[in-house]
Each structure stands twice: as structure tokens, then as C-alpha cells.
């Protein structure tokens, strides 16, 4: 057994005359993953953040007419440590989530991009809720994480077949003047990284660019500049997605608005730090993908969205700079 855990204990009596308040407090305790030692005694492994949450809850209980006392204590010995940790076993939660994934896998191929995006968002919310209260993850958590990553990969394959693998190579500096009036090629049925990259090419690199939408990477003509597929002139490098590689390749990284767009594309394409605008963009992209007759129409429609987002990021960046100077 590792070192003994320090526990936060909330000893409470809920208000007897306010059923609504009692239900609200019970739900809050359950949502935070509190274990029940006995009626009115709840337990959490101690952290400053969790203790602060319990402190605020204790205050709310007192204000509603109940009583609450917050204590802190370590396990007495290894036996008690094991007993208390067992109260936080989330194996059933993970097993139920994996059953949900198994059922969802049966429906993936028949769903639209919009439906798949909603399904993925709902399942991600369920998964993150379990992870948030799994204070002592074990084998069940490892299996659930593997199943979740497999499911994400399956959805990505349906939404964006032929997604490129990251290459490890230096990113060469290129001159925009050498890339004018060129033909650019990427996989058809564009998703986030490809549509953002095509927009970036046409707006900031090659305003007269012509695009070819490939049925497969192998169909790329020799005279075309490929992007976002294995073996393409511009594709994932290291931690960067294709949009970010294009930004660096053509010296556009001094534009903070493009960097913000890059963060959003990165988060949606391969995951990463959440970007507030990402969910909205993903929903618009999924809807536009269903409505568009072809990739030319999809690019035209999403270019307006990306123009607006870029303008928004330019504006917010200027506001931040002005606040710093003031």
C-alpha cells in the first residue's frame, strides 16, 4: 500500500422542512463522487480544491437550516485505507460506459456528420464525468480509456478517412511569392483541418489557388501541392496539424489571430487545450458538410465562417493589447 491518504469528512444534518434543498445537496454530493460512510457522513480524498468545494457546500447547508461540520484526517492504517478506497471503486461506472460505447459503435456507419458530432460530444461528457470522480483509477479505468480512444479513432475514420500520421522533420521556411497560382490537392469530404488549411491557403498564401479534391491520396497529380495526407507537401509535423504547419512554413506565426485559429483547429483535429469557439465551429462545420453539394461549396461556405472567426480573434487580441498598455 502506498502512503496513507488524508480524507476530508463532511458531517451533516440536512434541513428537514425543505425537500428541494435536501435533494439539491444530495445531488451535489453524488456529482462530486463523495462516498457515504454512514447516514450524514461523507468522505472525499483531500485536496485543497475539494475541501473548498465541501466548505462552500457546508455553508449552503447551514444557510438552508441544516448543520454541517468539515473535518480532515488520515487513514489509521493500511486496512482502513483499503476499506475507504474501496468506497470509491468506479468499476461499475466504467463497465457501463464501455457498454454504451459498444452500442454506439453499431450505429456509427449509418449516422451523419452532425449526428456523429453530437454522439461524440455526449459520450465525451459522460466519460469525463466518470474520470472526474475516479480518484483511485485502476484496471477498469485503463480499459475504459483504451475503449474510448478506439471509439474516437473510429469516428475520426468515418468523419475524416485517411487522416495523416504525424511526421518528424524540420519545417522549411518558404516564400509566399513562390507559391502563386498553384494547384493544391487534399482528400475530399473535408473536415476541420483540411477546410481551415484550404481557407488559409486562399486567403494568406495563394489567392489564385485552385483546389482538387482527391478520392484517395494516391490520386494526387504530380504537379499539385498536396496537403493533409501522408506523403503530402504539407501535413502533420510533430505536434502540429496541417493548418499550423502551413502557418509556420510561410512565416505567418506573427499573426496572433491565426495562432488562435490554429489552437482551435488543433483541438478539434487531434485534441488538446479546449478553445471556447471550438464547439460552435464544429457544429457549423458538421451542418455545412451535410448541406454542401461538393467540397467547393463547402469551402465557400466555411470560408465566411473562418473570415468571421479570424476577425473576432483580431478584435479580441487588440482589446487585450490595449488593456495591457493602459
Tens of pLDDT along 190-246?
999 999 999 999 999 999 999 999 988 888 998 999 999 888 899 999 889 999 999
Same domain, yes or no, for 49 and 133?
no
131 shares a domain with 60: no
* Residue at 265 is within a domain: yes
Within this chain, do residues 120 and 261 fall inside the same structural domain, yes or no?
A: no
Whole domain around residue 246: which residue ranges? 176-325
Both 278 and 196 in one domain: the answer is: yes
Angle at 192 between CA 166 and CA 307, to 5 degrees: 125
Q: What is the mean pLDDT of residues 171-186?
A: 94
Gap between the Cα atoms of 42 and 32, Å rounded: 11
Structural domain includes residue 165: no
User: Residues 318, 297: one domain?
Assistant: yes
CA distances from 324 to 255, 310, 316 (A): 18, 21, 12
Residues 198 and 128 in one domain: no
Whether 70 and 109 map to the same domain: the answer is no
Q: How many CB atoms lie within 10 A of CB 8?
A: 22
Q: Using 50, 70 and 90 to split pLDDT, how confident is the model at 326?
A: low
Among candidate residues 112, 127, 159, the one where a domain is terminated = 159
pLDDT band at 154 (very low <50, low <70, confident <90, very high): confident
pLDDT at 1: 44
Instruction: Identify whether 171 is part of a domain.
Output: no
Same domain (yes/no): 198, 263: yes
How many structural domains is the chain composed of? Answer: 3
- Pick the more confident residue, 138 or 209: 209
Whether residues 293 and 217 share a domain: the answer is yes
| CATH number reported for the structural domain that contains residue 64 in this entry | 3.30.70.240
Q: What 8-state DSSP symbol labels residue 205?
A: I
Exposure b/e, 182-221, CB count within 10 A at least 16 = b: eebbbbbbbbbbbbbbbbbbbebbbeebebbbbeebeebe
C-beta separation of 209 from 249 below 8 A:
no
Grid cell in block for residue 92? 461499475
- Check whether residue 274 and residue 320 sit in a common domain: yes
Residue 11 pLDDT exceeds 80: yes
Residue 126 lies in a domain: yes
Q: How confident is the model at residue 34 (pLDDT cuts 50, 70, 90)?
A: very high
Instruction: Give me the mean pLDDT over the 245-268 stretch.
Output: 95
Q: Do 23 and 108 fall into the same domain?
A: no
Amino acid at each position: 500500500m502506498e502512503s496513507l491518504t488524508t480524507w476530508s469528512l463532511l458531517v451533516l444534518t440536512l434541513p428537514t422542512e425543505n425537500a428541494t434543498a435536501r435533494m439539491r445537496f444530495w445531488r451535489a454530493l453524488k456529482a462530486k463522487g463523495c462516498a457515504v460512510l454512514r447516514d450524514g457522513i461523507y468522505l472525499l480524498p483531500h485536496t485543497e480544491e475539494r475541501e473548498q468545494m465541501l466548505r462552500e457546500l457546508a455553508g449552503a447547508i447551514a444557510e438552508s437550516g441544516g448543520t454541517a461540520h468539515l473535518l480532515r484526517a488520515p487513514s489509521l492504517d493500511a486496512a482502513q485505507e483499503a476499506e475507504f478506497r474501496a468506497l470509491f471503486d468506479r468499476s461499475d461506472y466504467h463497465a457501463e460506459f464501455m457498454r454504451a460505447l459498444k452500442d454506439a459503435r453499431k450505429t456509427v456507419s449509418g449516422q451523419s456528420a452532425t449526428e456523429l458530432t453530437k454522439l461524440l460530444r455526449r459520450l465525451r461528457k459522460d466519460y469525463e464525468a466518470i474520470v472526474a470522480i475516479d480518484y483511485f483509477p485502476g484496471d477498469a479505468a485503463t480499459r475504459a480509456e483504451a475503449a474510448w480512444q478506439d471509439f474516437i479513432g473510429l469516428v475520426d475514420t468515418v468523419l475524416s478517412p485517411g487522416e495523416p500520421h504525424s511526421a518528424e522533420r524540420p519545417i522549411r521556411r518558404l516564400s509566399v511569392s513562390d507559391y502563386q497560382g498553384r494547384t493544391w490537392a487534399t482528400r475530399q469530404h473535408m473536415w476541420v483541418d483540411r477546410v481551415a488549411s484550404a481557407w488559409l491557403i486562399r486567403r494568406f498564401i495563394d489567392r489564385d489557388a485552385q483546389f482538387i479534391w482527391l478520392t484517395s491520396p494516391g490520386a494526387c497529380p504530380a504537379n499539385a501541392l498536396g496537403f493533409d495526407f501522408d506523403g503530402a507537401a504539407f501535413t502533420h509535423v510533430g505536434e502540429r496539424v496541417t493548418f499550423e504547419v502551413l502557418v509556420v512554413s510561410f512565416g505567418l506565426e506573427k499573426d496572433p489571430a491565426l495562432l488562435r485559429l490554429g489552437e482551435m483547429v488543433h483541438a478539434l483535429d487531434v485534441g488538446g487545450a479546449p478553445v471556447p469557439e471550438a464547439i460552435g465551429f464544429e457544429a457549423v462545420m458538421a451542418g455545412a458538410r451535410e448541406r454542401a453539394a461538393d467540397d467547393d461549396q463547402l469551402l465557400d461556405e466555411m470560408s465566411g465562417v473562418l473570415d468571421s472567426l479570424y476577425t473576432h480573434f483580431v478584435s479580441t487580441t487588440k482589446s487585450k493589447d490595449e488593456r495591457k498598455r493602459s
